[in-house]
Chain A
Amino acid sequence: MLLQIAEPDAPVENTRPRRLGLGIDLGTTNSLIARSDGKETSLIPVDSGGMLLPSVVNYSGDTPLVGTQALALAVSSPEDTVASAKRFMGRSLEDVPLSERSVLSDGEPLAFATRAGAKTPVEVSADLLMALAQSAEVTLQEKADGVVVTVPAYFDDSQRQATRQAADIAGLNVLRLLNEPTAAAVAYGLDTSINESGVLAVYDLGGGTFDISILKMERGLLRVLATGGDTALGGDDVDAVIADWLADSWSLNAPNTSEQRELRRLAREAKEQLTTVDEHQVSSAIFPSKPAITMTTDTLESLATPLIQKTLMACQQAVDDASVQRIDQVVLVGGSTRMPAVQAAVQAFFGCEPLCSIDPDQVVAIGAAIQANVLVGNGSGDDAVLLDVTPLSLGLETYGGLVEKIIPRNSALPIAKAQDFTTAKDSQTGLVVHVLQGERERVEDCRSLARFELSGIPPMVAGAARIRVTFQVDADGLLEVSAVEETTQTQASLVVKPSFGLSDDQVADMLRASQEFAAGDMTARQLTEARVEAEALLDGLDGALSADADLLTTTELAELSAEQQQLQALIGSDDIDAIRAQTQQLGEASLAFAERRMDRSIKSALSGVAVDTLDASSTD
């Protein structure tokens, strides 16, 4: 056997064939998929040649139709056509305004009523993801090894869980859920300009949402300092203001539905025209008696200013949260940033000319593809690390309906925090752990993520029990909560799944149901996955042993080798359970070794900095 000598800092020289990682921007209006080889990044054609797949699915036939095909059917069978599913991800019925409930079926989980039955937003998103992945497979003649899916930075835990589930159902291996602003920064290569340190703002104004993030780049680390925005503010609101202004100018009283639709269309057209010309004539065959109105960029600016000001207030909040003195660069994302008035306001506010050389509709998918290529294993080892943060505080319900924050918003991920609680009454044997997300102090003003019970606490006097609740948020922003009564080690834990989400069983059923995986395929897939995982562990251990065997005693080394050989012997068999069990056993046996190696590598990483620090201070 050939020994690989691996330094922890420089990941193993890539002897494996290149792997394929794809970036997906799963958008409210349009979705995109892109690939990168580390040098060049391009969008992959979807939806019969275009680069944008309208995020619309039609369920009138035997198989779902997506994109333009679905959009075409929206007029003839609107009740079977689902659009903007992203806005409903991770939501429950009561979160949805009454005016929008007509498309939904009764009851939970929240779902769209179609002729093919109730379709949850997760299923609709899964159909979109599957269509994107299939287009990519046809174009590239290759299946993706992994994907990076982007989510808005403000997405809360349940919205992220829902996105993750959709990708699972679509049969995709998710390398990472990446925040959209971070992806945009990566697209501009701002993560790799490591010699330049600086502070960066990503201003993302889409159709229905506004998102602002402040990031700092330094020494190979792109770090989100603060994020904020308004989930109910976007280009659509600008259209509405223009439409109202047109109605006023034409003295239209209470326009009917079709007149309203026409006003909206005229408004959107005027807005788009005025990004390239200074003047635009508005007239319509629907309103033949009304004179043409001249709209100028100034008219548009005065109409849009109040909305743009609202975005700048959110920008100020984010700048405050980030505690930064100045912004060095601004990236524009989202179609609505094409408006000259927006660009001018952003430039004036941040004091620098915004970057907009990459199409603001494509920039997120491009960044996701670049990161997917790195994460799938084609990286060079010195790629920047993207450090994301929690968009909202996470906490627990305590006495009196108040929320105790455990993890404050804008905490760098991954993070784990524990807090101790005790019982309020004598002989209390159970404790309800109610997990909440939000900034407000009272339970009813925050979003309830989950509720679970720690039971079986032995009767004690009030205040004697020591209940440690631990919150863990991983790099994708997904939360796991556990509770332990420490004096007796009574345990309860769960991965926070929103009560209106899908259970693991439901996800597994859908996975099985999707034609992609017939029963035989499913077993084959599981076997392949088990072998890949076993091989990864064995390979990693080989490298680890050749580099750091001195961290083990002779006995430990012998035990580990024995477990290693057992797994090696099993790997060629078809026994999925045995391979999994032995992988698990070898993993446990080598956990302490892996920790010691990590500590050693941390020491070496530190000693490098310590020298740097000395150098820096001696030249000052």
Chain B
Amino acid sequence: MSDLFQLFDLPATFSIDEHALEQRYQALIAHCHPDRYASASALEQRVAAKRAADINDAYQILIHPVSRGRHLLELAGVDTQALERQPADPEFLFEQLMRRERVQDFTSLDNDEAAELVDDVRHQYHHSATALATSLDANDVAVASSRWVELNYHQKLHDELEQTLNRQVSR
């Protein structure tokens, strides 16, 4: 497992400068894209295509918090596939289930309830991301593993809610 942060010359931490990552990604992909080498030799085309694919892949992994967390855990030697197969804490699961039902019934909530749910989901999401960052910074792999599993759930719910909100705005 190689450190993907190195490709962008960024430190391997969960809290990243998204703007810097974005800029570096743009510069690198513009530099290595096969179109830049369309009239070069087959060899150079191949080398460029391979690098371009690596850069696209690495960027996708690092830009999303869940996959960035997964990568950092893997760098720390954690088997994240096994982690995903482990059953989550029942109490946590139950709480998520309740939130999820409310997100699915979002349109039937009154304004106050809706605002409260949005705050709650966003807060939980950011809270779990911060908790993951803290435990990773402290090299506490065991705690970071649990926080990462939680972030997985919070992220899914967060995305679902944001999409529902987008749709309402555009209507």
Q: Which residues of A are in contact with B by a Cβ distance under 8 Å?
A: 8-9, 11, 19, 175-176, 218-221, 316, 319-320, 349, 374-377, 385-387, 411-417, 472, 474-475, 533, 536-537, 539-541, 587, 590-591, 594-595, 598, 601-602, 605-606, 608-610, 612-613
Given contacts A587-B42, A591-B43, contact A414 B56 (CB under 8 A): yes
Interface residues of B in 65-101 (CB under 8 A from A): none
B33 touches A385 (CB 8 A): yes
**A residues within 8 A CB of B54?**
416
With a CB–CB cut-off of 8 A, which chain B residues contact A376?
Answer: 38-39
* Contacting pair A595 B8 (CB below 8 A): no
CB-CB under 8 A from A316, the residues of chain B are 166-167, 170
Is A594 a contact of B29 with CB atoms below 8 Å?
Answer: no
> Complex Cα distance A11/B163, Å?
44
> Among the interface residues A176, A414, A475, A539, which one has the most CB atoms of the partner chain B within 10 A?
A414
Separation in Å of the A308 CB from the closest CB of chain B?
15
Q: How far is the CB of B57 from chain A (nearest CB, A)?
A: 6
- Which chain B residues border A8 with CB–CB below 8 Å? 31
Q: Nearest-CB distance from B109 to chain A (Å)?
A: 21
29 A-B pairs in the complex with CB atoms less than 8 angstroms apart: A175-B38, A219-B30, A220-B26, A221-B26, A221-B29, A316-B166, A316-B170, A349-B170, A387-B33, A413-B56, A414-B34, A415-B57, A416-B53, A474-B49, A475-B33, A475-B52, A533-B41, A536-B41, A536-B42, A537-B42, A540-B41, A587-B41, A587-B42, A590-B43, A594-B43, A602-B51, A606-B27, A609-B27, A613-B23
Give, as a whole number of angstroms, the nearest-CB distance from A472 to chain B.
7
Interface assignment of B142: CB less than 8 Å from any CB of chain A: no
How near does chain B come to A315, taking the closest CB pair, in angstroms? 9
Residues of B within 8 A of A176 (CB): 35, 38
Interface residues, chain B, with chain A CB atoms under 8 Å away: 8-9, 19-20, 23-24, 26-36, 38-44, 47-54, 56-57, 59-60, 163, 166-167, 170
Task: Provide the residues of chain A in CB contact with B19, threshold 8 Å.
Answer: 613
CB distance A606 to B56 under 8 Å? no
Distance between A112 CB and nearest chain B CB, rounded to angstroms: 34
Given the complex of chains A and B, what is the CA–CA distance between A293 and B52 in angstroms?
A: 60
Q: Is the CB of A475 within 8 A of B40?
A: no
Query: A414-B34, A613-B24 are known contacts; what are 18 more A-B pairs with Cβ within 8 Å?
Result: A19-B39, A176-B38, A219-B27, A219-B30, A221-B26, A316-B166, A319-B170, A349-B170, A412-B60, A415-B56, A416-B53, A533-B42, A540-B41, A587-B41, A606-B9, A606-B28, A612-B23, A613-B20
A472 to B53, CA, bound (A): 8
Please give, as numbers and ranges, the residues of chain B lying within 8 Å of A319 by CB-CB distance.
166, 170
Q: How far is the CB of A295 from chain B (nearest CB, A)?
A: 30
Q: In the complex, what residues of B have CB within 8 A of residue A594's CB?
A: 43-44, 47
Number of A-B contacts (CB under 8 A): 126
The minimal Cβ–Cβ distance linking B7 to chain A, given in whole angstroms, is 8
| Cα-based distance from A266 to B166 in the complex (angstroms) | 41
When chains A and B are docked, how far (Å) is the Cα of A319 from the Cα of B36? 29
Using Cβ atoms and an 8 Å threshold, which residues of chain A touch B31?
Answer: 8-9, 601-602, 605
Q: Nearest CB to that of B7 among chain A residues?
A: A602
Q: A219-B30, A595-B47, A606-B8 are in contact. Are A386 and B35 (CB under 8 A)?
A: yes
Given contacts A319-B166, A590-B43, contact A474 B34 (CB under 8 A): yes
Q: Are B23 and A385 in contact (CB under 8 A)?
A: no
Of chain A, the residue at the smallest CB distance from B43 is A587
- Closest chain-A Cβ to B127's Cβ sits at a distance in Å of 21
Nearest CB of chain B from residue A9's CB, rounded to whole Å: 7
